[in-house]
Structure formats: C-alpha cells, structure tokens
Amino acid sequence: MSKFARKNYKIFFKSKGEPMLWLTGGGLIAALLMIGLLLLLVIKNGMGTFWPDPITHFELKSGDKLMGEVTKIEYFKLPQEKITLLTEQDRNRIEKNSGREKRFLLRIGNFELTNEHFKWVSEFEIAKITYPEDAMILERLEWGRFYGFPKEFRIDGKVVATDMKSIMKNYEEYHSKVRYLWSEKVEIEKKEIGKLNHKIEKERLKLKEAKLNLQKAIDSNDQDRIKTAQEKYERAEKDFNLFTQWSKKEYDNYVKKIDDLKKNYEKYAIKFVTSDGKEKEIKLFEIVRSYQANALSFWDKTMIYFGRWVEFQTDHPREANSEGGVFPAIFGTVVMTLLMSLFVVPFGVIAAIYMKEYAKSGKIISILRIAINNLAGVPSIVYGVFGLGFFAYTIGASIDQLFYEAKLPNPTFGTGGILWASLTLALLTLPVVIVATEEAINAVPNSLREGSYACGATKWQTIRNIVLPRAMPGIMTGFILSMSRGAGEVAPLMLTGAVKLAPEMPVDSIYPFVHLERSFMHLGFHIYDLGFQSQNSDAAIPMVYTTTLLLITIVVLLNVMAIYIRNRLRKKFIGSVF
C-alpha cells in the first residue's frame, strides 16, 4: 500500500475535487439538454408544418366516404362493451394492442359543406383506404382547405373542359393571370382607397377643428374673434363640400375599376366533386394554391414546401390567423424591437455613465444600484399596466388633448400603440443595459483614464474619447441581452398595443410614413393568439410551432448582427489586453 494511497473518502472528496467536476459538468449538461430538447421540439414540429401530406380517402363500413390529410395518429383505449360489438378481425387486432385501438385525425376541410375542419376516424370503422391520384387540395382565401376531384372548368358559366388533363391545362393557363388581377383589385382597395379615406378623414378633421375654434371663440365672447372664426369655419365648410364632391367622384372611379377587374377574373371557375358526391363550384381567384397531393414528385413537394415558407413570411394572415402569412407580425416585432433599443440604449448608457464616472460611490449609489437590479425582477405584466396607465392614458391622452383634439373622443395616442409598447419594453430592459454598461465601464483600465487626464483632457473628453469607445463592446452586450429579452416579451405588449390583427402597419406609404400611434402585430402575441384563442385549434397548433421557430430565428438573426458589430468594435477598441 502506497504512502499516498487514498485513506478515506472524505479526504479524497476534498483534495481531488473530482465529484465536483461531475456535479458542475452535470449541471451544464442538464441545462444544455433542456434547451436542446426545447429547440428540437420547436424545430421538428415547426419545420414539418409546410410539408405537403398525401390525401387519404377513407371508405367507412357505414358507407360514408371521407377524404383529407391525416394530421395525427394515436392509440386510445376502447371500452370493453364496444369491443364486443366489433368483428372478430378487429377484436383480435385490438387485443394484440392490449385493448387499444388506432385512430386517425383527418383534416377534411370543406367547411362550408361539412361544418367541420377535422374528424377522428377509428380503424375499426374503416373499410378501405385509398390514395386517389386525381384528388386535389385547395388552399383558399376563405373557408379553409378544400379537398375534392375537379370535374369541369368553366368560363362565364360555359364548360370548356371536363377531363382531368385539359382542366389542369386551363387551370395553369388562367390561374396566375386571375390571381394577378385579383391582387391588383386588393391593391386598389388597400392603397388607393385607403389613401382616399385618409384624405377624407383629414378634411373632416379640418372642418371639425374650425368648428371647435368657432365654439371657443363664442365662449370667449370676443366679437372680433367670433367673426374671424366664423369666416374660417364657413370657408372650411365650403372646402369640405368641394372636397366631398371630388372624393365621391374619385371613389366611384375606383369602384368602377374594381368592378371591371372583378368582371375579368370572376368568370373563371372549377366545379369540384367532394368524396361524398357533393358538387361545389370554386372561383379561380379564391384558390391561393392547389395541387394533386398524391401525384407529386419529391421535387414538386419541395417546391410547395418552400413556396409555403415564402408565403408565410411575406403574406398577410387569413382565416383568423391560422392560414396565410405573418408578415405584419414579423414587421411589427422587428420595428418594435429596434424602436425599443433606440430608447433603451442611450438612456441606460447615460445613467450608467453618471453612476460610474460622475457620482461619488457611496450609500446612495449602492441603494440605487440595488433598486435598479431589483427592477429586473418586477413581473412584466406590471410594466404593461404601468405602460398603459402612464404612457397611453396619461401622456398619450395629454398629447391627444393638445394636438388631436378634433379626433376626440377617438384616441390617437391615448391608447395602446407601437410607441408606447416599445417605451414600456425599454423600461423593462433598462436594468439589463445599465448593469451591462456599468460592468463595461468598470472594465476600462484606470491607466487609460489617467493617461487621458495626464494629456490634459477634461472628464467629459476622457469619457467620450477613451471610456465609451473602450466600453462599447460591453455596451453592445447589454444591447444584445435587452433585445433578446424585449423581442420575446408578450405580456406587457398585450396591454400596450399588440393586437390580433392590425389593419395597417406602423410604416407605410401614407404621409408621414411612420405611424407610431398605431397598434401592431407581434410574433409573440401571435403565438399566444394561435395557441389559445383560435377557433380552429387543430389547424392552428402546427402554426404555433412554425411561428415560434420564426420568432427564435428572428431573435437569433438580430443577435448575430449585433454580435458581428460587437466583434468588430472589440477588434478596434480593445485588441491585445494589457
């Protein structure tokens, strides 16, 4: 036995510390595993949503026929008294599965005919499963998906094709043209008529303002003032009447244009027959995307998959957000996050500079620092309530009183909006920025400061030329952390301006182009809305994963950008460390 052999476990434990290695390493692995599992779940479910599934055709023993996409397969326990009613073959199978029966969740679509989006089908009900090649899936503007067999292609009610091949040929020939005409119509509705409505609203407000001024003048009892106000009001009224005439003409013009377009594209239609024999004519312009799911090659499927991703990222939502894209939400999230950074970084940095460079370190600063750190622990919903109460209802309402009086009682700034939401989040993430900046300033070597003073620099010159550039990478770290925190936050946004569906985006082509008072869509809120507020939850849940994946990707992208900038700054300002 060696002199240095382990005498007892206690000494070994203390002196070698290897159990500690296992403990610390194990802790890290547990944390990584949980993060990895979460990411894996999101990625697996999120990536699969857009892959085109085959169309399955079930012939049931009852004689019913169902057709659609199988979205889920599970086993469930069948009650004994039900099992006894089944055929022997089914009983044997169930027994083999220890009393559990397989069932399929079938997305049957055709909501206007069936009043159901999904249906459970148990295996014992099924007589025959087929995968018909002719069957088509339609993604439509309204009513969700449609599953059926194309029978006739019609132009202006006249049948021009009846066999599959020529129907598809006609479809390919006319579909993109029809969709183009339709999108032109939407453009006119949204942009041109939207602009016109804004103008009308503006003129109406002018008139109302003149009226308010007149009222004020009358209240003041000043004859001269009443006279001028009266004149102004009369002029405004005249202007308004002229404008109304003009706008009516303009509006009629647009309506005529739309009618022309409609006439052009509404004449194309396809008659479909569903699996249970019902007939349904579907206008070509309603079809967003269609394909014969069982006749697709791998390449076709891939194209559809990526086409759906593109649509998801660039289009507006349809069908209570469960179909279509999330572009407004992406846009809202990014704009809100950047606005938030714009507010929080300067504020946080200024506060940290004061605390580190100017204030004498002492009790008050210590208390202040503890208070700021504790701010990070306040529930975010409390910030939301504060944002709504202080920003929207107090400051916003005052702004409305001062500048948007004519619009009252409709609030402009006096309600939730992207400005208030980003200010609220800025407040929420302020501690992160302050703490990170303080640490970064702390890490600036004193020898640099002294060197600068020794060159004759003042305090501010030293801070601006030496301390801030050197601390910049650390400040960027704070910025990155705050951005991640802010982009993922939902609760305060629900109170301060995020909405399920925003008709207008915060940046558009209508003067003054940036509309900070508008409510906005946000991916985080969108996820909540899809997952918990949706009518059609079976269709919405896959979208929840996809949207989550998208949100994570956006946060990662924003971070990667910031990290890239930080590394460049680090190279420039820190270099080798002395």
* Helical packing angle, 468-488 and 418-442, nearest 10°: 140
Least distance to other proteins, CB of residue 370, Å: 22
Which helix (H) or strand (E) covers residue 446, if one does?
helix 446-454
Least distance to other proteins, CB of residue 194, Å: 50
Residue type, 52: P
Select from 106, 98, 37 the least CA-distant residue to 72: 106
Residue type, 383: Y
Phi, psi of 323 (to 5 degrees): -130, 170
Q: Is 366 one of the binding residues for other proteins (CB under 8 A)?
A: no
How far apart are alpha carbons 167 and 162 in whole angstroms?
6
Least distance to other proteins, CB of residue 354, Å: 16
- Our CB check for other proteins shows the closer of 300 and 357 to be 357
- Our CB check for other proteins shows the closer of 57 and 449 to be 449
Length of the chain in terms of residues written: 578
Q: Is 461 one of the binding residues for other proteins (CB under 8 A)?
A: yes
Least distance to other proteins, CB of residue 421, Å: 36
Question: Where do the H-state alpha helices sit in 221-290?
Answer: 223-266
Phi, psi of 507 (to 5 degrees): -125, 125
How far apart are alpha carbons 71 and 205 in whole angstroms?
53
Among 454, 509, 512, 513, binds other proteins (CB under 8 A): 454
- Our CB check for other proteins shows the closer of 169 and 571 to be 571
Q: Is 437 one of the binding residues for other proteins (CB under 8 A)?
A: no
Among 103, 316, 470, 515, binds other proteins (CB under 8 A): 470
- Cα distances from 141 to residues 272, 281, 323, 542, in angstroms, run 17, 14, 9, 19
Q: Which residues contact 39 (CB under 8 A, 6 or more apart)?
A: 552
CA atoms within 13 A on the CB side of 335: 24
Q: Is 442 one of the binding residues for other proteins (CB under 8 A)?
A: no
Under 8 Å between Cβ of 521 and 545: no
Question: Which range, of 162-170, 452-460, 527-535, 547-555, touches other proteins by CB under 8 A?
Answer: 452-460
What would the x/- binding string for other proteins be over residues 77 to 116, using CB under 8 A?
----------------------------------------
Question: Where do the H-state alpha helices sit in 64-192?
Answer: 80-83, 88-96, 111-114, 164-187
Among 97, 114, 465, 536, binds other proteins (CB under 8 A): 465
SS3 128: strand
Q: Is 67 one of the binding residues for other proteins (CB under 8 A)?
A: no
On the question of a cis peptide bond just before residue 512, with omega within 30 degrees of 0, the verdict is yes
How far apart are alpha carbons 114 and 112 in whole angstroms?
6
Q: Is 576 one of the binding residues for other proteins (CB under 8 A)?
A: yes
- Residues between 334 and 363 with contacts to other proteins, criterion CB under 8 A: 360
Q: Is 458 one of the binding residues for other proteins (CB under 8 A)?
A: yes
- Our CB check for other proteins shows the closer of 457 and 505 to be 457
User: C-alpha angle with apex 547: 541 to 551, nearest 5 degrees?
Assistant: 145
Least distance to other proteins, CB of residue 364, Å: 15
Q: Is 443 one of the binding residues for other proteins (CB under 8 A)?
A: no
Q: Is 440 one of the binding residues for other proteins (CB under 8 A)?
A: no
Phi, psi of 272 (to 5 degrees): -110, 155
What would the x/- binding string for other proteins be over residues 292 to 331, using CB under 8 A?
----------------------------------------
Q: Is 567 one of the binding residues for other proteins (CB under 8 A)?
A: no
Size of the site for other proteins (CB under 8 A): 26
Q: Is 365 one of the binding residues for other proteins (CB under 8 A)?
A: no
Least distance to other proteins, CB of residue 368, Å: 18
Least distance to other proteins, CB of residue 441, Å: 13
Q: Is 445 one of the binding residues for other proteins (CB under 8 A)?
A: yes
Sequence-ordered strand ranges (E) for 292-340: 317-318, 323-324
Q: Is 536 one of the binding residues for other proteins (CB under 8 A)?
A: no
Q: Is 364 one of the binding residues for other proteins (CB under 8 A)?
A: no
- Our CB check for other proteins shows the closer of 201 and 450 to be 450
Q: Is 469 one of the binding residues for other proteins (CB under 8 A)?
A: yes
Q: Is 1 one of the binding residues for other proteins (CB under 8 A)?
A: no
Least distance to other proteins, CB of residue 574, Å: 7
Question: Which range, of 50-58, 86-94, 297-305, 442-450, touches other proteins by CB under 8 A?
Answer: 442-450
Among 450, 503, 514, 561, binds other proteins (CB under 8 A): 450
Question: Which range, of 31-39, 313-321, 424-432, 466-474, touches other proteins by CB under 8 A?
Answer: 466-474
Instruction: State both tokens at 221.
Output: 């009892």
The alpha carbon torsion through 395, 396, 399, 405 (nearest 10 deg) reads: -140
Among 17, 26, 27, 451, binds other proteins (CB under 8 A): 451
How far apart are alpha carbons 419 and 376 in whole angstroms?
21
Q: Is 578 one of the binding residues for other proteins (CB under 8 A)?
A: yes
Count of C-beta atoms within a 10 Å radius of residue 499: 18
- Cα distances from 333 to residues 190, 483, 490, 519, in angstroms, run 22, 11, 11, 12
Residue type, 57: H
List contacts with other proteins (CB under 8 A). Answer: 360, 445, 447-458, 461, 465-466, 469-470, 571-576, 578
